[in-house]
Chain A
Amino acid sequence: MTTPQNPSATQNAGATQDPSPASVTPGTSGTSGAQGPPALRPEQTRERALAVLAELERVIVGKRGQLTLVLLGILADGHVLLEDLPGLGKTLLARSFAHTLGLHFTRVQFTPDLLPQDLTGASIYHQKTGEFAFREGPVFTQLLLADEINRTPPKTQAALLEAMEERQVSADGVTRALPSPFVVLATENPIEYEGTYPLPEAQLDRFVLRTRLGYLTAELEADMVRRRLDRGAQRPVPNQVVEPAELLAMSASLEQVEVHDDVLAYVVALVQATREHPKAQVGASPRGTLAVTQLARGAAVLAGRDYVTPEDVQQVAVAALGHRLVLRPELWVRRVSGEDVVAELLGRVPTPSTRVFDRTGAAR
Protein backbone atom coordinates (compact mmCIF):
# COMPACT_ATOMS: atom_id res chain seq x y z
CA MET A 1 0.00 0.00 0.00
CA THR A 2 1.40 3.35 -0.96
CA THR A 3 1.67 6.27 1.37
CA PRO A 4 1.30 9.87 0.33
CA GLN A 5 4.78 11.32 0.12
CA ASN A 6 4.17 14.97 -0.45
CA PRO A 7 4.55 16.85 2.85
CA SER A 8 2.33 19.66 1.65
CA ALA A 9 -0.39 17.29 0.56
CA THR A 10 -1.97 16.87 3.92
CA GLN A 11 -5.29 17.90 2.45
CA ASN A 12 -5.25 15.33 -0.31
CA ALA A 13 -3.30 12.50 1.20
CA GLY A 14 -5.93 10.02 0.11
CA ALA A 15 -4.78 10.48 -3.45
CA THR A 16 -4.91 6.83 -4.34
CA GLN A 17 -8.62 6.69 -3.65
CA ASP A 18 -10.17 10.07 -4.06
CA PRO A 19 -8.02 13.06 -3.30
CA SER A 20 -10.41 15.93 -3.77
CA PRO A 21 -13.29 14.83 -1.56
CA ALA A 22 -10.89 14.24 1.29
CA SER A 23 -10.07 17.91 1.37
CA VAL A 24 -13.48 18.69 2.80
CA THR A 25 -13.41 19.23 6.51
CA PRO A 26 -16.34 18.60 8.80
CA GLY A 27 -16.72 22.24 9.48
CA THR A 28 -17.18 23.15 5.86
CA SER A 29 -18.80 20.11 4.36
CA GLY A 30 -22.25 21.02 5.46
CA THR A 31 -22.18 24.70 4.60
CA SER A 32 -20.03 25.14 1.56
CA GLY A 33 -21.85 23.70 -1.37
CA ALA A 34 -19.15 24.72 -3.81
CA GLN A 35 -16.37 22.69 -2.22
CA GLY A 36 -18.16 19.76 -0.65
CA PRO A 37 -21.35 17.79 -0.94
CA PRO A 38 -24.59 19.30 0.38
CA ALA A 39 -25.20 18.89 4.07
CA LEU A 40 -26.77 15.58 4.93
CA ARG A 41 -29.85 15.24 7.03
CA PRO A 42 -29.90 12.53 9.71
CA GLU A 43 -32.23 10.37 7.63
CA GLN A 44 -29.81 10.58 4.69
CA THR A 45 -26.98 9.61 6.98
CA ARG A 46 -29.01 6.65 8.16
CA GLU A 47 -29.69 5.54 4.63
CA ARG A 48 -25.99 5.60 3.73
CA ALA A 49 -24.92 4.02 7.00
CA LEU A 50 -27.30 1.12 6.51
CA ALA A 51 -25.96 0.66 2.98
CA VAL A 52 -22.42 0.55 4.36
CA LEU A 53 -23.39 -2.02 6.94
CA ALA A 54 -25.17 -4.15 4.36
CA GLU A 55 -22.09 -4.15 2.14
CA LEU A 56 -19.84 -5.04 5.06
CA GLU A 57 -22.11 -7.88 6.07
CA ARG A 58 -21.61 -9.34 2.63
CA VAL A 59 -18.00 -9.95 3.64
CA ILE A 60 -18.08 -10.26 7.43
CA VAL A 61 -20.55 -12.80 8.71
CA GLY A 62 -22.63 -12.47 11.84
CA LYS A 63 -21.06 -9.35 13.32
CA ARG A 64 -23.78 -6.78 12.81
CA GLY A 65 -23.51 -5.39 16.32
CA GLN A 66 -19.75 -4.95 16.19
CA LEU A 67 -19.85 -3.48 12.69
CA THR A 68 -22.45 -1.00 13.86
CA LEU A 69 -20.33 0.03 16.81
CA VAL A 70 -17.25 0.54 14.64
CA LEU A 71 -19.24 2.62 12.18
CA LEU A 72 -20.64 4.68 15.05
CA GLY A 73 -17.09 5.26 16.23
CA ILE A 74 -16.06 6.50 12.80
CA LEU A 75 -19.15 8.71 12.51
CA ALA A 76 -18.32 10.14 15.93
CA ASP A 77 -14.95 11.18 14.50
CA GLY A 78 -13.15 8.81 16.83
CA HIS A 79 -10.75 5.91 16.81
CA VAL A 80 -11.72 2.35 17.50
CA LEU A 81 -9.95 -0.40 19.39
CA LEU A 82 -10.71 -4.00 18.48
CA GLU A 83 -9.62 -6.47 21.11
CA ASP A 84 -9.69 -10.19 20.59
CA LEU A 85 -7.68 -13.27 19.94
CA PRO A 86 -5.99 -13.79 16.57
CA GLY A 87 -8.03 -15.17 13.71
CA LEU A 88 -11.36 -13.57 14.48
CA GLY A 89 -11.45 -11.16 11.56
CA LYS A 90 -10.12 -7.93 13.06
CA THR A 91 -7.84 -7.11 10.14
CA LEU A 92 -10.48 -8.09 7.61
CA LEU A 93 -12.93 -5.78 9.33
CA ALA A 94 -10.55 -2.82 9.17
CA ARG A 95 -9.67 -3.42 5.54
CA SER A 96 -13.33 -3.82 4.64
CA PHE A 97 -14.22 -0.52 6.27
CA ALA A 98 -11.49 1.22 4.29
CA HIS A 99 -12.85 -0.21 1.03
CA THR A 100 -16.47 0.55 1.81
CA LEU A 101 -15.83 4.10 2.94
CA GLY A 102 -13.35 4.81 0.15
CA LEU A 103 -10.58 5.78 2.53
CA HIS A 104 -6.88 5.66 1.85
CA PHE A 105 -5.72 2.69 3.87
CA THR A 106 -2.42 1.89 5.51
CA ARG A 107 -1.64 -1.08 7.67
CA VAL A 108 1.16 -1.08 10.20
CA GLN A 109 2.14 -4.26 11.96
CA PHE A 110 3.21 -3.23 15.44
CA THR A 111 6.25 -5.22 16.54
CA PRO A 112 8.52 -4.95 19.60
CA ASP A 113 11.26 -3.23 17.57
CA LEU A 114 9.01 -0.63 15.91
CA LEU A 115 10.26 2.92 16.52
CA PRO A 116 8.19 6.13 16.76
CA GLN A 117 9.86 7.44 13.60
CA ASP A 118 8.68 4.35 11.76
CA LEU A 119 5.17 5.62 12.33
CA THR A 120 5.36 9.37 12.11
CA GLY A 121 8.17 9.72 9.60
CA ALA A 122 11.61 11.26 9.87
CA SER A 123 13.93 13.76 8.22
CA ILE A 124 16.31 12.19 5.76
CA TYR A 125 19.46 13.78 4.39
CA HIS A 126 19.29 14.35 0.67
CA GLN A 127 22.76 14.03 -0.82
CA LYS A 128 22.09 15.98 -4.02
CA THR A 129 20.63 19.02 -2.39
CA GLY A 130 22.57 18.69 0.83
CA GLU A 131 19.41 19.30 2.83
CA PHE A 132 17.19 17.32 5.12
CA ALA A 133 13.74 16.42 3.82
CA PHE A 134 10.89 15.03 5.89
CA ARG A 135 9.60 11.68 4.73
CA GLU A 136 6.09 11.05 5.97
CA GLY A 137 5.43 7.87 7.84
CA PRO A 138 2.46 5.56 7.44
CA VAL A 139 0.41 7.63 9.86
CA PHE A 140 -0.23 10.06 7.00
CA THR A 141 -3.27 8.24 5.75
CA GLN A 142 -7.03 8.27 6.22
CA LEU A 143 -7.59 4.89 7.79
CA LEU A 144 -4.65 3.51 9.72
CA LEU A 145 -4.83 -0.10 10.80
CA ALA A 146 -2.58 -0.37 13.84
CA ASP A 147 -2.39 -4.13 13.90
CA GLU A 148 -1.60 -5.71 17.27
CA ILE A 149 -0.84 -2.33 18.79
CA ASN A 150 0.01 -3.80 22.15
CA ARG A 151 2.92 -5.78 20.73
CA THR A 152 5.02 -2.63 20.60
CA PRO A 153 6.49 -0.87 23.67
CA PRO A 154 4.69 2.15 25.17
CA LYS A 155 7.15 4.62 23.62
CA THR A 156 6.01 3.72 20.13
CA GLN A 157 2.39 3.48 21.21
CA ALA A 158 2.68 7.02 22.54
CA ALA A 159 3.81 8.24 19.13
CA LEU A 160 0.20 7.88 18.07
CA LEU A 161 -1.16 10.10 20.84
CA GLU A 162 -0.75 13.42 19.09
CA ALA A 163 -1.90 12.00 15.79
CA MET A 164 -5.05 10.56 17.32
CA GLU A 165 -6.04 13.56 19.39
CA GLU A 166 -4.78 16.53 17.43
CA ARG A 167 -4.82 15.03 13.96
CA GLN A 168 -1.30 16.27 13.41
CA VAL A 169 2.31 15.16 13.69
CA SER A 170 5.08 17.30 15.16
CA ALA A 171 8.59 16.41 14.06
CA ASP A 172 11.77 18.46 13.79
CA GLY A 173 9.93 21.50 15.09
CA VAL A 174 7.35 21.41 12.33
CA THR A 175 3.71 20.45 12.80
CA ARG A 176 2.10 18.68 9.90
CA ALA A 177 -1.64 18.14 9.61
CA LEU A 178 -2.98 14.69 8.87
CA PRO A 179 -5.49 13.94 6.13
CA SER A 180 -9.17 14.23 6.87
CA PRO A 181 -10.91 12.04 7.80
CA PHE A 182 -8.30 10.34 9.92
CA VAL A 183 -9.31 7.16 11.69
CA VAL A 184 -7.18 4.70 13.63
CA LEU A 185 -8.54 1.19 13.82
CA ALA A 186 -6.27 -0.58 16.24
CA THR A 187 -6.34 -4.24 17.07
CA GLU A 188 -4.91 -5.73 20.21
CA ASN A 189 -4.59 -9.14 21.74
CA PRO A 190 -5.99 -9.65 25.21
CA ILE A 191 -3.59 -8.48 27.90
CA GLU A 192 -2.94 -11.96 29.17
CA TYR A 193 -1.63 -12.93 25.76
CA GLU A 194 2.11 -13.61 25.62
CA GLY A 195 4.48 -10.83 24.54
CA THR A 196 2.13 -7.88 24.92
CA TYR A 197 2.51 -4.44 26.49
CA PRO A 198 -0.71 -3.15 28.05
CA LEU A 199 -1.80 0.14 26.53
CA PRO A 200 -1.37 3.09 28.91
CA GLU A 201 -4.53 4.76 30.19
CA ALA A 202 -3.81 7.91 28.22
CA GLN A 203 -3.65 5.89 25.03
CA LEU A 204 -6.78 3.92 25.81
CA ASP A 205 -8.67 7.13 26.53
CA ARG A 206 -8.00 8.28 22.97
CA PHE A 207 -10.14 5.49 21.59
CA VAL A 208 -13.78 6.43 21.40
CA LEU A 209 -14.78 2.83 21.96
CA ARG A 210 -13.47 -0.68 22.34
CA THR A 211 -15.28 -3.74 21.15
CA ARG A 212 -14.63 -7.43 20.87
CA LEU A 213 -15.55 -9.58 17.93
CA GLY A 214 -15.87 -12.92 19.68
CA TYR A 215 -16.42 -16.31 18.18
CA LEU A 216 -19.19 -17.09 15.73
CA THR A 217 -21.93 -19.52 16.53
CA ALA A 218 -21.59 -22.93 14.93
CA GLU A 219 -24.17 -22.11 12.26
CA LEU A 220 -22.56 -18.79 11.33
CA GLU A 221 -19.11 -20.33 11.30
CA ALA A 222 -20.32 -23.00 8.91
CA ASP A 223 -21.90 -20.26 6.80
CA MET A 224 -18.61 -18.40 6.71
CA VAL A 225 -16.70 -21.46 5.54
CA ARG A 226 -19.41 -22.19 2.96
CA ARG A 227 -18.99 -18.72 1.51
CA ARG A 228 -15.25 -19.26 1.31
CA LEU A 229 -15.73 -22.56 -0.51
CA ASP A 230 -18.20 -20.99 -2.91
CA ARG A 231 -16.04 -18.08 -3.93
CA GLY A 232 -12.79 -20.03 -4.20
CA ALA A 233 -9.41 -18.54 -3.38
CA GLN A 234 -10.44 -15.00 -4.30
CA ARG A 235 -10.30 -12.61 -1.36
CA PRO A 236 -13.58 -10.97 -0.43
CA VAL A 237 -13.51 -7.28 -1.27
CA PRO A 238 -16.52 -5.12 -0.48
CA ASN A 239 -17.55 -2.37 -2.86
CA GLN A 240 -17.14 1.28 -2.10
CA VAL A 241 -20.44 2.71 -0.88
CA VAL A 242 -19.63 6.28 0.10
CA GLU A 243 -16.98 8.84 -0.74
CA PRO A 244 -14.69 10.22 1.98
CA ALA A 245 -16.41 13.58 1.62
CA GLU A 246 -19.77 11.91 2.18
CA LEU A 247 -18.38 10.30 5.27
CA LEU A 248 -17.43 13.72 6.60
CA ALA A 249 -20.90 14.99 5.83
CA MET A 250 -22.39 12.01 7.61
CA SER A 251 -20.30 12.80 10.67
CA ALA A 252 -21.32 16.43 10.50
CA SER A 253 -25.00 15.48 10.40
CA LEU A 254 -24.73 14.14 13.94
CA GLU A 255 -24.63 17.73 15.09
CA GLN A 256 -28.29 18.00 14.15
CA VAL A 257 -29.25 15.33 16.67
CA GLU A 258 -30.83 16.77 19.79
CA VAL A 259 -29.71 15.73 23.26
CA HIS A 260 -32.29 16.58 25.92
CA ASP A 261 -31.00 18.00 29.21
CA ASP A 262 -32.34 15.02 31.13
CA VAL A 263 -30.59 12.56 28.81
CA LEU A 264 -27.40 14.54 29.16
CA ALA A 265 -27.78 14.43 32.94
CA TYR A 266 -28.20 10.66 32.65
CA VAL A 267 -24.94 10.34 30.71
CA VAL A 268 -23.10 12.45 33.26
CA ALA A 269 -24.56 10.46 36.15
CA LEU A 270 -23.45 7.25 34.47
CA VAL A 271 -19.90 8.47 34.01
CA GLN A 272 -19.71 9.83 37.53
CA ALA A 273 -20.93 6.51 38.87
CA THR A 274 -17.90 4.85 37.28
CA ARG A 275 -15.68 7.18 39.31
CA GLU A 276 -17.41 6.27 42.56
CA HIS A 277 -17.68 2.54 41.96
CA PRO A 278 -15.85 0.52 44.62
CA LYS A 279 -14.30 -1.74 42.02
CA ALA A 280 -12.81 1.14 40.03
CA GLN A 281 -9.51 2.74 40.89
CA VAL A 282 -9.89 5.28 38.08
CA GLY A 283 -13.25 6.07 36.53
CA ALA A 284 -14.09 7.34 33.08
CA SER A 285 -12.76 10.73 32.01
CA PRO A 286 -14.75 13.71 30.72
CA ARG A 287 -13.56 12.58 27.32
CA GLY A 288 -15.60 9.47 28.00
CA THR A 289 -18.69 11.59 28.63
CA LEU A 290 -18.22 13.28 25.28
CA ALA A 291 -17.68 9.92 23.62
CA VAL A 292 -20.90 8.45 25.01
CA THR A 293 -22.86 11.50 23.95
CA GLN A 294 -21.52 11.55 20.43
CA LEU A 295 -21.89 7.79 19.96
CA ALA A 296 -25.44 7.96 21.28
CA ARG A 297 -26.21 10.62 18.69
CA GLY A 298 -24.97 8.24 16.03
CA ALA A 299 -27.06 5.43 17.46
CA ALA A 300 -30.11 7.70 17.36
CA VAL A 301 -29.49 8.44 13.69
CA LEU A 302 -29.20 4.74 12.88
CA ALA A 303 -32.47 4.18 14.75
CA GLY A 304 -34.16 6.78 12.54
CA ARG A 305 -34.43 9.53 15.11
CA ASP A 306 -32.97 13.00 15.43
CA TYR A 307 -33.03 12.97 19.21
CA VAL A 308 -31.20 10.80 21.72
CA THR A 309 -33.01 8.50 24.13
CA PRO A 310 -31.70 6.57 27.14
CA GLU A 311 -31.79 3.46 24.96
CA ASP A 312 -29.19 5.01 22.67
CA VAL A 313 -26.99 5.78 25.65
CA GLN A 314 -27.27 2.25 26.96
CA GLN A 315 -26.49 0.82 23.54
CA VAL A 316 -23.08 2.48 23.41
CA ALA A 317 -22.12 2.99 27.06
CA VAL A 318 -20.36 -0.33 27.63
CA ALA A 319 -18.21 0.00 24.52
CA ALA A 320 -17.48 3.68 25.15
CA LEU A 321 -16.65 3.51 28.85
CA GLY A 322 -15.47 0.00 29.65
CA HIS A 323 -11.90 0.44 28.44
CA ARG A 324 -11.47 3.75 30.26
CA LEU A 325 -11.85 2.21 33.71
CA VAL A 326 -8.87 1.09 35.74
CA LEU A 327 -10.04 -1.55 38.15
CA ARG A 328 -8.56 -2.38 41.51
CA PRO A 329 -5.68 -4.82 41.13
CA GLU A 330 -7.32 -7.54 43.20
CA LEU A 331 -10.12 -7.77 40.62
CA TRP A 332 -7.84 -8.69 37.74
CA VAL A 333 -7.53 -12.25 38.94
CA ARG A 334 -11.31 -12.49 39.15
CA ARG A 335 -11.64 -11.62 35.49
CA VAL A 336 -13.82 -8.62 36.24
CA SER A 337 -13.57 -6.12 33.40
CA GLY A 338 -14.47 -2.48 32.99
CA GLU A 339 -17.28 -3.58 30.71
CA ASP A 340 -18.76 -5.63 33.55
CA VAL A 341 -18.72 -2.61 35.84
CA VAL A 342 -20.42 -0.37 33.27
CA ALA A 343 -23.03 -3.03 32.55
CA GLU A 344 -23.77 -3.27 36.26
CA LEU A 345 -24.13 0.50 36.48
CA LEU A 346 -26.56 0.57 33.59
CA GLY A 347 -28.93 -1.45 35.74
CA ARG A 348 -28.51 0.85 38.73
CA VAL A 349 -28.17 4.44 37.54
CA PRO A 350 -31.68 5.88 37.23
CA THR A 351 -32.82 6.76 33.74
CA PRO A 352 -34.71 10.06 33.28
CA SER A 353 -38.06 10.12 35.00
CA THR A 354 -41.23 9.68 33.01
CA ARG A 355 -42.65 13.04 33.95
CA VAL A 356 -41.00 16.31 33.06
CA PHE A 357 -40.49 18.48 36.10
CA ASP A 358 -40.07 22.23 36.05
CA ARG A 359 -37.79 24.20 38.33
CA THR A 360 -40.35 24.28 41.10
CA GLY A 361 -40.52 20.51 41.08
CA ALA A 362 -44.01 20.38 39.63
CA ALA A 363 -44.76 17.91 36.88
CA ARG A 364 -45.48 19.42 33.49
Chain B
Amino acid sequence: MKQIAKAVAILAIAALCASAAWAAEGGNPKKGKYLYKKTCKSCHVEGAEGGNLTPMTKTMSQWDRFFEKAQHPKAEAWKDLKEQDIKDINQFLYDHALDSSQPETCG
Protein backbone atom coordinates (compact mmCIF):
# COMPACT_ATOMS: atom_id res chain seq x y z
CA MET B 1 0.00 0.00 0.00
CA LYS B 2 2.84 2.33 0.92
CA GLN B 3 4.47 1.59 -2.39
CA ILE B 4 1.33 2.53 -4.24
CA ALA B 5 0.95 5.77 -2.29
CA LYS B 6 4.53 6.63 -3.18
CA ALA B 7 3.98 5.84 -6.86
CA VAL B 8 0.80 7.91 -6.93
CA ALA B 9 2.57 10.85 -5.32
CA ILE B 10 5.38 10.68 -7.86
CA LEU B 11 2.94 10.54 -10.74
CA ALA B 12 0.95 13.47 -9.37
CA ILE B 13 4.10 15.56 -8.98
CA ALA B 14 5.17 14.63 -12.50
CA ALA B 15 1.80 15.82 -13.78
CA LEU B 16 2.04 19.09 -11.90
CA CYS B 17 5.55 19.73 -13.16
CA ALA B 18 4.74 18.90 -16.75
CA SER B 19 5.32 21.89 -18.94
CA ALA B 20 2.41 23.19 -20.92
CA ALA B 21 4.50 24.18 -23.90
CA TRP B 22 2.52 22.60 -26.67
CA ALA B 23 1.17 23.82 -29.94
CA ALA B 24 -2.46 24.77 -30.39
CA GLU B 25 -3.34 25.13 -26.75
CA GLY B 26 -5.90 27.37 -25.18
CA GLY B 27 -8.46 27.20 -27.96
CA ASN B 28 -11.92 25.76 -27.58
CA PRO B 29 -12.33 23.22 -30.39
CA LYS B 30 -16.12 23.18 -30.04
CA LYS B 31 -16.33 26.94 -30.57
CA GLY B 32 -13.69 26.54 -33.28
CA LYS B 33 -15.84 24.08 -35.18
CA TYR B 34 -18.82 26.46 -35.05
CA LEU B 35 -16.70 29.41 -36.18
CA TYR B 36 -15.02 27.37 -38.89
CA LYS B 37 -18.41 26.36 -40.30
CA LYS B 38 -19.73 29.91 -40.05
CA THR B 39 -16.70 31.83 -41.25
CA CYS B 40 -14.50 29.57 -43.35
CA LYS B 41 -16.93 27.22 -45.05
CA SER B 42 -18.47 29.97 -47.20
CA CYS B 43 -15.29 30.16 -49.31
CA HIS B 44 -13.74 26.77 -48.58
CA VAL B 45 -16.10 24.33 -50.28
CA GLU B 46 -15.84 22.49 -53.57
CA GLY B 47 -16.09 24.96 -56.43
CA ALA B 48 -15.99 28.09 -54.23
CA GLU B 49 -13.30 30.77 -54.22
CA GLY B 50 -11.08 29.18 -51.57
CA GLY B 51 -11.39 25.61 -52.80
CA ASN B 52 -12.41 22.66 -50.66
CA LEU B 53 -10.71 22.62 -47.27
CA THR B 54 -11.21 20.29 -44.32
CA PRO B 55 -9.22 19.78 -41.10
CA MET B 56 -7.69 16.73 -42.83
CA THR B 57 -6.21 18.93 -45.59
CA LYS B 58 -3.17 19.68 -43.43
CA THR B 59 -1.17 18.03 -40.68
CA MET B 60 -1.17 19.33 -37.12
CA SER B 61 2.11 21.20 -37.54
CA GLN B 62 1.04 22.56 -40.93
CA TRP B 63 -2.06 24.05 -39.32
CA ASP B 64 0.06 25.56 -36.55
CA ARG B 65 2.45 27.08 -39.10
CA PHE B 66 -0.49 28.58 -40.95
CA PHE B 67 -1.93 30.17 -37.80
CA GLU B 68 1.45 31.29 -36.45
CA LYS B 69 1.50 33.97 -39.12
CA ALA B 70 -1.81 35.25 -37.74
CA GLN B 71 -2.61 36.39 -41.23
CA HIS B 72 -4.94 34.96 -43.83
CA PRO B 73 -3.76 35.15 -47.46
CA LYS B 74 -7.01 36.91 -48.20
CA ALA B 75 -6.69 39.91 -45.89
CA GLU B 76 -10.39 40.52 -45.15
CA ALA B 77 -11.18 36.85 -44.45
CA TRP B 78 -10.46 37.13 -40.70
CA LYS B 79 -11.56 40.73 -40.20
CA ASP B 80 -14.59 39.82 -38.05
CA LEU B 81 -12.65 37.37 -35.90
CA LYS B 82 -11.15 38.15 -32.53
CA GLU B 83 -7.79 36.74 -31.48
CA GLN B 84 -9.48 34.07 -29.34
CA ASP B 85 -11.79 33.10 -32.24
CA ILE B 86 -8.75 32.42 -34.42
CA LYS B 87 -7.23 30.36 -31.62
CA ASP B 88 -10.46 28.35 -31.38
CA ILE B 89 -10.47 27.65 -35.11
CA ASN B 90 -6.80 26.69 -34.95
CA GLN B 91 -7.55 24.29 -32.10
CA PHE B 92 -10.41 22.66 -34.01
CA LEU B 93 -8.34 22.22 -37.17
CA TYR B 94 -5.32 20.98 -35.18
CA ASP B 95 -7.43 18.49 -33.21
CA HIS B 96 -8.87 16.99 -36.39
CA ALA B 97 -5.82 17.28 -38.65
CA LEU B 98 -4.63 14.53 -40.96
CA ASP B 99 -2.18 13.10 -38.43
CA SER B 100 -4.33 13.65 -35.33
CA SER B 101 -6.08 10.84 -33.45
CA GLN B 102 -9.17 9.70 -35.32
CA PRO B 103 -12.17 7.67 -34.17
CA GLU B 104 -11.37 3.98 -34.59
CA THR B 105 -14.49 2.84 -36.36
CA CYS B 106 -15.26 1.15 -39.63
CA GLY B 107 -16.67 3.05 -42.60
Q: Do A and B come from one complex?
A: no
Q: Which A residues have a C-beta under 8 Å from some C-beta of B?
A: none
Interface residues of B (CB under 8 A from A): none
